[in-house]
Structure 1
Amino acid sequence: MPYNNSMKIYFTCTILLLLTISGFSQSSTIKLRDDLFADKSTIFSKFIPLNNGELTYGACLLDPKTFIYQINQFKADASRKIKNKKNESLIKKDIDYFTRNIVEYYVSHYGRDSLVMATIQQINAEKRSDPNYASLIKEASKKLQIKILSTAEAKFLNEFVLGAADLNDTELFKHSVAYRDWIDSYLYNLNIDRQFRYSSSEYESRYLLPLEAIYNKIPPGFIKNHLTYQYTLFALKMVTNPQKLDSLYGDFARRRENSEYKADIDQVYNNLILSRPNSLAPDFSYYDVNDKLVRLNELRGKYVYIDIWATWCAPCKVEIPFLSRLESDYSTKNIIFLSLSVDNSSDKAKWVSYVKNNKLGGIQVIADKDFNSDFIRKFSVASIPRFILIDPVGQIVFSNAARPSDPDLRNHLDHLLK
Structure 2
Amino acid sequence: MNFKFILNTALAFAFAGTLHAQAPVEIKGALNTSYPKQVKLFKVVEGKTVEIANASPQKKKFGFLFYPEYEGIYVVGTGNELSPNDNHLFYFKGGEQLDITLSDTSYTLNGKLNSKENIVLKQWKDLTNPLYQKAINFMKVQSTFMDYFPQQESIVAKSKTFLNGKATGNPKFDKQIKDIMQLDLISYATNFINTPRSAHPSLDEYSDFYGTIKANEIAKTTHKVYNYPYGLRTLTALISINMRQDKKAYKPAAEGLALFASYVPNDTLKGDLVLENLARYKSYDDFKAITNQFGKYIVTKSQQEKENSLLSPLLTYKPGTDGLQFAYADKDGKQVSFASLKGKVVLVDVWATWCGPCRAEFPHLKQLEKDMEGQPVQIVSISTDADKDKEKWLKMIKDEGLGGMQLYAGQSNEFSKYYKVNTIPRFLVFDKNGKIVNVDAPRPSNPKLKELLLAEAAK
With normalisation by structure 1, the TM-score equals 0.35
**Quick check: which has more Rg, 1 or 2?**
2
> Larger helix proportion, structure 1 or 2?
1
For CA contacts below 8 A with separation 6 or more, give which structure has more relative contact order. Answer: 1
